[in-house]
């Protein structure tokens, strides 16, 4: 894989996938499906359906399948009132209509999270029409550039709201910034006009398609090339970039080789690796990643020690843990794992080594666009960290619960099911009208009853004085079985 930073876009009939490759590694994989389009960034005309003072929150109908969740701290311009311990019922009423924006997609059984603190992103600026405070992105650290942007933006003040300069504003000309202001203000005016014209909850503004959004938010001078395998999206991207950054128009390329684009860049194999429970480390160790509803657990295994003495062993463990946290930082970002994450590292004797491992993890996570928080290693050798959750993880998006285990990761063993079948046969045998019994079971359970458990079947048949027949159901669930009573 090339060491250049590139954006590879694969467009299929059912979904569009965007891979952001940094220094030869896939930093992010974004997926947009026709039937599961993300709602983050969309603006809706919402109707308040329930106000819950005890939760300081409300549920809002925005025209989607599930009502959205609006917390008091996300209501504008009443934020100051919330800080003064005002109740949400003082500024939100059931039946009230207001424009709201989705800040977090539906995750699992939860509806969208929304805010009335609407923001519209342009190439260089973010417009917050209901806010009074603008500013400069903290990622712009050069004081001279910050001063220049502040001067330019002071001359571009709008009649309402405020502007925030994005990282992409670095080096942008006053004309480019002014064009952004005009576009964003006009867009907001159109949104408000639609809001007043409509009578029901509905979509007022739809966020850009995934390829265009990635270009707007993540395409900068560090990206050498954008490669896409769809001629339609290629034309769309060129038109979009020609309006935003015409000098980078040549960076867009149409992929036309016979080999699928994600195969050519090694992305498909990396996706498969990201979906595996066990991830091998170069040293011979491994990570075991278990993602649950409440948290994700990552267990670090050292593999075979190469050190002979205790000192060598401590160094081996230290190096393995260093290697592990680098892979963990990569995996949580690539898999888009959010919420609470617990890392079970290999125990280290030296406190200095434990601190170095923690510091290394924090350092790597600085490159993650999602907000993260990392605690120091506990006395049990655990690191607790959190990562901002804004959408479904890659695993949950590409997987669905197993129909056999219902997502638990395990099912009853054949031995256990065979024992249950024998107990059920014994229950049915008490009926004197029964001449024989037939157990219809999964082929795997049938093999158990005819093999290792065959003696038990014969003994039971002798004890109850009735014939027992084992029948296979090739289409049945492993845990499913039926026992039928047959008349003499």
The model's pLDDT over 391-424, given as tens digits with 9 standing for 90+, comes to: 778 877 777 777 777 666 778 889 999 999 999 9
Structural domain boundaries of the chain? 6-37+207-268, 275-398, 414-486
Q: What's the pTM value of the predicted model, to 2 decimals?
A: 0.69
pLDDT at 370: 83
Is the CB of residue 125 less than 8 Å from the CB of residue 181? yes
The model's pLDDT over 259-280, given as tens digits with 9 standing for 90+, comes to: 999 999 988 888 887 778 898 8
Check: CATH 2.60.120.10 for 414-486? no
pLDDT at 345: 93
pLDDT at 222: 87
pLDDT at 390: 67
Please list the rounded mean pLDDT of every run of 10 residues in the chain (488 residues): 83 90 86 80 95 93 93 73 70 93 84 93 91 86 91 86 89 88 92 94 93 89 93 94 87 94 89 84 88 88 60 84 93 90 92 93 87 89 88 76 71 90 88 84 94 93 91 89 87
pLDDT at 401: 73
Which one of 1.20.140.10, 3.40.630.10, 3.30.420.60, 3.20.20.80 gives the CATH number of domain 6-37+207-268? Answer: 3.30.420.60
pLDDT at 276: 86
pLDDT at 38: 79
């Amino acid at each position: 894989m090339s060491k250049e930073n590139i954006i590879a876009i694969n467009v299929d009939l059912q979904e569009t996938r965007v891979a952001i490759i940094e220094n030869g590694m896939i930093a992010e994989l974004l997926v947009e499906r026709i039937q599961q389009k993300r709602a983050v960034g969309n603006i809706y005309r919402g109707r308040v359906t329930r106000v819950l003072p005890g939760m300081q929150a409300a549920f809002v109908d925005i025209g989607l399948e599930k009502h959205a969740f609006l917390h008091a701290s996300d209501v504008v311009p009443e934020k100051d009132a919330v800080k003064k311990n005002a109740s949400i019922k003082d500024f939100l009423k059931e039946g009230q209509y207001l424009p709201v924006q989705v800040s977090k997609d539906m995750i699992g059984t939860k509806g969208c999270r929304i805010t009335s603190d609407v923001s519209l992103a342009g190439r260089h600026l973010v417009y917050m029409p209901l806010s009074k405070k603008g500013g400069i992105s903290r990622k712009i650290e050069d004081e001279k550039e910050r001063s220049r942007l502040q001067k330019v933006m002071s001359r571009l003040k709008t009649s309402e709201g405020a502007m925030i300069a994005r990282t992409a504003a670095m080096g942008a000309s006053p004309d480019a910034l002014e064009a952004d202001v005009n576009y964003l203000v006009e867009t907001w005016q159109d949104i408000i006009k639609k809001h007043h014209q409509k009578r029901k909850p509905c979509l007022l503004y739809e966020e850009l398609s995934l390829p265009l959004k990635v270009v707007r938010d993540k395409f900068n001078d560090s990206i050498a090339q954008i490669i896409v395998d769809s001629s339609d999206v290629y034309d769309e991207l060129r038109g979009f970039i020609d309006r935003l950054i015409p000098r980078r128009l040549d960076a867009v390329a149409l992929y036309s080789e016979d080999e699928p684009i994600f195969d050519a860049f090694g992305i498909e194999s990396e996706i498969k690796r990201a979906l595996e429970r066990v991830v091998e480390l170069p040293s011979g160790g491994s990570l075991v990643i278990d993602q649950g509803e409440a948290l994700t657990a990552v267990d670090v295994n050292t593999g075979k020690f190469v050190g002979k003495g205790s000192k060598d062993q401590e160094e081996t463990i230290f190096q393995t843990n260093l290697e592990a946290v680098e892979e963990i930082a990569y995996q949580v970002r690539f898999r888009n794992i959010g919420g609470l994450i617990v890392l079970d590292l290999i125990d280290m004797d030296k406190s200095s080594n434990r601190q170095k491992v923690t510091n290394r993890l924090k350092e790597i996570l600085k490159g993650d666009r999602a907000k993260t928080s990392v605690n120091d290693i506990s006395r049990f050798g655990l690191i607790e960290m959190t990562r901002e959750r804004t959408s479904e993880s890659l695993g949950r998006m590409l997987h669905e619960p197993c129909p056999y285990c219902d997502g638990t990761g395990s099912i009853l063993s054949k031995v256990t099911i065979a024992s249950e079948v024998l107990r059920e046969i014994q229950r049915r045998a008490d009926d004197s009208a029964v001449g024989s019994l037939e157990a219809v079971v999964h082929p795997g359970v049938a093999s158990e009853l005819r093999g290792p458990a065959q003696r038990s079947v014969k003994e039971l048949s002798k004890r109850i004085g009735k014939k027992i027949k084992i029948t296979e159901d090739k289409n049945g669930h492993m845990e499913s079985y039926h026992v039928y009573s047959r008349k003499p």
